[in-house]
Structure 1
């Protein structure tokens, strides 16, 4: 299935039903009072996160969603039936923005989470509400209010633990094939990956994490060059970034300059991304003689002034790739332990308040 991570849709809630003008007419009661009922509420439009979806491609075919109108009020004080809500399923990780105001309405991050995007209109009042001591037979009612109409932009951000960064052809797709069951297309030309790929790395019982192969970035990506910011946003949810670098690019490019270029694009897009844990993975070690690999890798690390963990691997030969994954697993286990300790140290009343919220 083709990956689509952006869509614009129109949602329209149902209008409220109109109030009714009616009078009680029964045998022996020829001049009964008003008994017009209220109109029903219009249906609303909701977005619902569904773990069974992983792309927004369905919105290429259907872009408009409308909820049911409320029924008009009736005589004998009968209220109109409310309109049925419309549920629109979207993938987990969908960010919803109002196109007109550019305001983020919500972020759906859990299966079953619902987001109200268009409120149904209120039902109008029947003439029973307008009876008074001076007007015993009111011929007045109110119409239902219109439902909300909005144009929404849907953006899908991948929910992955680890994001792979790097220039096109750095070996990211080969790496994800080596460590998971994912099978992205691999070839020796830039932009082999045109859509993000997800892979689950399993290291044993209850030891797994999700890794995302983000399409290669180039200079100017944050300004829209190449595949641009379409894919930069996918790294924003990841807890750890693995920065893959071709240790000996065939075009003679300097790996250090390539790392710096990616760092500049991250800083332009979101400076906080540079503060996120980012490990250096020097790939394609197999292209160098065995006795030179370590020396070349250490030279790159020294020129970068790299202080975070780094690894020398050959993804195509699967050399040292699982060692990287084991370190990643330890990183997440340490994070979970730190969160548990933080929760244990929290005062009892804070825990209770958070639970109530």
Structure 2
């Protein structure tokens, strides 16, 4: 028989969104529990970019100073576009953030470091009056039920969630899907692996019933919470309108703005964004014009690191682009997504 427990707020997802909410609730003394289907290993960051207002919020929690010391600060943004001969040239350069808008600038830092700082702040908020926030890794929800009649009762725990505890092997994602490399399990082009995790752990039955006053879904593009709520909570809009490759590289290049944030529009090869980051890394967001979509989905087998880097070279031509290190390789789809009904969605990716 599954054991049972109670909590005021159950957060599904221990990424930056889930941990930020947990930190807030920890400061308020709300009994909170966070579950995540992964282990605590963040191999390739996805929510790495920090806007100025995010930094101001982190500063109010006493976290911004640690982020600021390690992050790469973006001071300028350059705009490149084709000249009359079709070759790209810099047409403008300006401050990355309007002067006077904030004491901070936008910056970039690995998601794993951001999560570490949030976890440290959560633990520092604990006291005899403020209960410990329980963060359970390798734990996946399998069912959710809401008692509508009890929902208005402040003393009730109207939401019941069944949790299954996974082994470390079960919770560690495969880093290579087919011939695609690191990070694809985090991409919104990759198939959600929740069902396969449940199937692999089905015989163990290490389950628990949690009764909660509130459940918050911070579980990303393949949100289990959203899917479980069903009709009325689906994503609306096209699945995608463009395919972008994402590379973190230590570049070898003669492109003059490689350490500035810049936006490059080419005549025919597509668009590219350069984001300089920590440890000499540069993140490239590259539009993949040669990858087509059928039925709103891209053929992932065609999105290889070689395809992505060649697309970047065509966009940056006549400048040269090489690298001697790739930190991660990911692909993302872009498109309009709107949630119906009165539901708040959290977003971690940047």
Q: TM-score range by the shorter chain?
A: under 0.3
* Higher share of residues assigned strand: 2
* Higher share of residues assigned helix: 1
> Which structure exhibits the higher relative contact order, with contacts defined as CA atoms closer than 8 Å and separated by 6 or more residues?
2
| TM-score (norm. length: structure 1) | 0.23
| Bigger radius of gyration among the two | 1
| TM-score (norm. length: structure 2) | 0.23
